[in-house]
Structure 1
Amino acid sequence: MAILLYDLVGSDPSRPYSPHCWKTAMSLAHKGLEFETVPTRFLDVPTVEGGVSKTVPVIRDGARVVADSFAIALYLEETYPDRPSLFGGEGGEAMSRFIERWSQTILHTYLGAAALMDIYGMQDEPNRAYFRQSREPRFGKKLEEVPGGRDAGLAAFRGSLEPLRSMLAYQPWIGGASPLFPDYIVFGALQWVRVASPYQFLAADDPVSEWFGRCLDLHGGLGRGVPSAA
């Protein structure tokens, strides 16, 4: 039986965009596990598996239900040890924690604000109302005001990728010779805005763009299966 992945979408169920759900989709594909996605909008999340989590991704694997992309990766690693490793050992798991924090605090902070109105535009009317009601208190301003500094912040965002850019001069993946879960963490952040926004967050000649393109090609082109917003 295929694993179920509850995957965040907007009004178009064929365009999943959540960075965290993309981490899980890539993890499942990395393990070579068959899975089916369940398109899930914001207002659907409280009904997922009896309200097990306030967020997605959530997976159901037979009788097991697991929430949170990192917890899911750990579950897959423990449950399917005979399949390709997501971490390459305890050191890779520890490294992934650092990469996750870097992505959440540095990449997501800029990307989430810069693409906010694009993400809002992906929702149907009831979910737009929810999105506005939940995000405006978080940002302390109207949604329309939040992305106003994205042009001014673009150079700093691209500069924040320098650790990744520099590393790619030494090895092809964050995981080393082949991709691991930390690659999927950063990929999820960039795929989030690729699907949601036509804004050009990466320069075409950036080595990070080349790495991201290779990520899109992984697992039979899973990432490319959803066209970019551009």
Structure 2
Amino acid sequence: MDAPSTTTSSSRPRPRPRSRRPRVGLVVLTALCVLTALFAVSSYVGLDPGDSQVGLREDVAFHYPLLIVHIVTSTLALLALPLQFWPALRRSGAHRVIGRAALFAGVLPGAVSGLGVAVLGTSGLVAQAGFALLSVLWFTFAAAGYRAVRQGRHADHREWMVRVFALTLAGVTLRVLIPLLTLLLLPLLEPVYGGDEDLYFLEIYQAITWLCWVPNLIAAEWYLRRRGR
């Protein structure tokens, strides 16, 4: 009678090492969020409207205060949301605390104030529409994510928060695209715009008000479908 076969530890398949790419990507995204937050608030620390990087309506007294609210709350969201995707924090009570802070002190007031800032914008209807739709979707996705977690639909909650994070990253892509496209399209300044720098920058900026978030959202949807549930 044959002896029963045994499987030695040396013959067992070894588990594949976990890829470090997701962690590296998360580190890079977190660093970009921190750098963007520092850059975003730097022009507003002194609370001087003359230092604003956004055109202000002189006939609307609350335009600058509303912009400050948007800067502060959006910066908080930009700093807090990346932490929600760190595995160590996701498995601790800090995840819930940070999540509520990011939602109620960051995303929701940031979206509402952002909608007001968009409506008061001085860069034309294209830019106003781009930022307004961004604000509406940001609020809607965040509210949907909160509702999902309250109902115990955790998979849906994760999907909505990936979308929220993608829209939050508009603050990063906006500040990357402005200098990048301004330099890349510089050869068009004379032949297309006749040397009119104001028109040149205005049209680039109007395009960026959409490019800073639409590709982010498309990438998020691709990620969710590739990853599945």
Calculate the TM-score normalised by the size of structure 1. Answer: 0.30
Calculate the TM-score normalised by the size of structure 2. Answer: 0.30
Higher relative contact order (CA 8 A, sep 6+): 1
More helix by share: 2
More strand by share: 1
